[in-house]
Structure 1
């Protein structure tokens, strides 16, 4: 019906008439609500061009269309294009309407949110706080824009793990929206989802599930099955169910979210790739490594197309695929993935970065699995030295690297070189975790293996006595000096 109205007005009034422009905007909104985002974008851009030409860049209606175009681009995952639209609308409204006008404050909220999504956290926080302070002063605590600003600031603080600051913001916003707008208003549903996600991150999983399910039911009824809010709820319920071991339910939620996101958003949209990656992580935890690797490979290719080969997210995903392939004993493919991740991380992040250190360690592991101990040793040693510089001598990651190198040296019979490393590993774990911790027990077992192997190579050197001392330590004796 809206398309027919648009076509009729276009024929009767011409493409540049105000009524035609209104019909374009209405039809674009309908297409967006039905998940036809590419068609909606085409119409939205046409409306923006007509408004600029007929009304001028600074006309209020033009600025509304520019802002709405930004919202659509944001929904599509086109964050940099969305940022340009939001900044244009905000700059014009500051100039024309002033800092305290509701339209200016709404633009501040949108711009701050997209800045946060683009990793510009300091700029985003300053703008969120400016919007919130002005909205409270001008519009009051219960105005829709004030509540939007509260949610935006809360989401940013949450991303920085400042959870003590987040919960009172989210709780107040949710209570106010329930009271003023009702339980099934879209703003209330957004606050329900945000509260569920916060509770999830705090480990309060029963409360989180309750909030997610209420939000999901509301989104389905009010906004429809394909609305982004519905899809976010489905994805997060999948994550939560996997956390609590309800894997069949988790897979059902993931698969529904994935099918709808592929259809509505496309295979390369960040939200679609997030669901594929979450499904892959669950498969990996269940030992379904081939399925996990297939999911991760899809995410890698999507990120390559979206961000390029050297983006940090792409490189981390390449490493994750390597882990799944290694667990599936597809060692040659795992090595190729670990090597690509490592080379990119050295280039982009530098050698003294935790992700680079992890990939060095993974290269050592896969080369050892392939029976190439000399090459593995090179990577294990570099991983250990980087860990010492990054984390310190007794950090768990450093102790793991020390133990892996010691284990390799024991396996190739270089017991004298392995001994100081194995002793350092045991002492560090004892200091870090305590005498009864599993990590300390594993380090003690490594020393027993060392001295038993050394005794086999040099039967008269007394290494069997050292093995006995550490065995006594492991079984609750007095311990070793």
Structure 2
């Protein structure tokens, strides 16, 4: 019998990504010892390790693991298998965190065709993969394609699930991101404001999705030149994320960085530097040196700190 260990999914949800990866690695090593390298349980554990590295901001390691796992999964299960599609999608998400958006698009276009064939056009799994494809299109600067796909998923979910379902609200949030990427800030703000009101009502003001929508609304205000509103919303989001998620959670660190940028835009440099110095200290304690968020905060701090 395999030994009980810390649940890596719970660790990841708590933002303890290094511990989550260690737990996934331990689970994979034990599966390999018990079942061998190409057993379905071992391949699932390998996929989980790769996904853990995506969450931990180490996409290069994720890509190596997921590429090997995908090749083995195809050999064991074939192309048209749920496990193969899952690994393919996770590999694409790892690629999105590098400069390989075009390659991610190719993987996701294959995955979405397989999902449609296996599960149907409007199956929840198909729609989730389609949302990932839309994000890949945006990352590859195919804004019109990304917006079109996000619009389709949003309207399908709204029709099937209703306007207040969590998946529909996620699609609305994603659609706001697409409009923002296309610099259609008035439309993005309209979508985000409507979605935020629904998230507050349905999920509650402290839910992770509500906080993410508020963060993105603040960013849209900023890009639209509404800097006072942006700062107020970024400050509230940072305060709430610190309270709900903790100071070291990746979402909290990103909120702090976003507020720093807004302070700089408003030429409030003393507050900006103090905020980022605190945030950098948290990053040093909680993130590896090659984590992209830590590197971004270090670069921003080097740029504004008096020499």
TM-score by length of 2: 0.77
The Cα of 1:47 is off from its aligned counterpart by 2.6
Aligned to 1:156: 136
Cα distance in 1, alignment partners of residues 212 and 302 from structure 2: 26
Aligned to 1:348: none
Verify the 8 A CA contact 1:299 1:317 in the aligned structure 2.
no
Aligned to 1:100: 80
Structure 1: which 5+ residue stretches go unaligned? 1-15, 326-332, 337-481
Cα distance in 2, alignment partners of residues 139 and 146 from structure 1: 7
Q: Which has the larger radius of gyration?
A: 1
Which of 52, 67, 84 is equivalent to 2:47?
A: 67
Aligned to 2:181: 201
Verify the 8 A CA contact 1:102 1:145 in the aligned structure 2.
no
Q: Secondary structure at 1:189's aligned position in 2?
A: helix
Aligned to 2:26: 46
More displaced stretch, 93-102 vs 32-41: 32-41
State the Cα RMSD in Å.
3.7
Greater relative contact order, per chain length (Cα 8 Å cut-off, separation 6+): 2
Cα distance in 2, alignment partners of residues 64 and 289 from structure 1: 48
Residue 128 (1) aligns with residue 75 (2): no
The Cα of 1:223 is off from its aligned counterpart by 9.4
Aligned to 1:317: 300
Cα distance in 2, alignment partners of residues 320 and 178 from structure 1: 44
Structure 2: which 5+ residue stretches go unaligned? none
Verify the 8 A CA contact 2:276 2:297 in the aligned structure 1.
no
Deviation readout 1:435-461 (Å, 9 max, x if unpaired) = xxxxxxxxxxxxxxxxxxxxxxxxxxx
Verify the 8 A CA contact 1:70 1:85 in the aligned structure 2.
yes
Cα distance in 2, alignment partners of residues 50 and 131 from structure 1: 29
Per the alignment, do residues 114 and 266 of structure 1 end up closer, same or farther by CA in structure 2, a change over 3 Å counting?
farther
Cα distance in 2, alignment partners of residues 88 and 265 from structure 1: 35
The Cα of 1:221 is off from its aligned counterpart by 5.0
Verify the 8 A CA contact 1:35 1:226 in the aligned structure 2.
no
The Cα of 1:184 is off from its aligned counterpart by 5.0
Cα distance in 2, alignment partners of residues 112 and 265 from structure 1: 29
Verify the 8 A CA contact 1:44 1:65 in the aligned structure 2.
yes
Deviation readout 1:164-222 (Å, 9 max, x if unpaired) = 22221111111222333444555433322210111223344343234334555548955
Aligned to 2:216: 236
Aligned to 2:206: 225
Aligned to 2:120: 140
Cα distance in 2, alignment partners of residues 239 and 168 from structure 1: 22
Deviation readout 1:297-326 (Å, 9 max, x if unpaired) = 567775996339xx99579636742xxx6x
Which of 270, 284, 290 is equivalent to 1:307?
A: 290
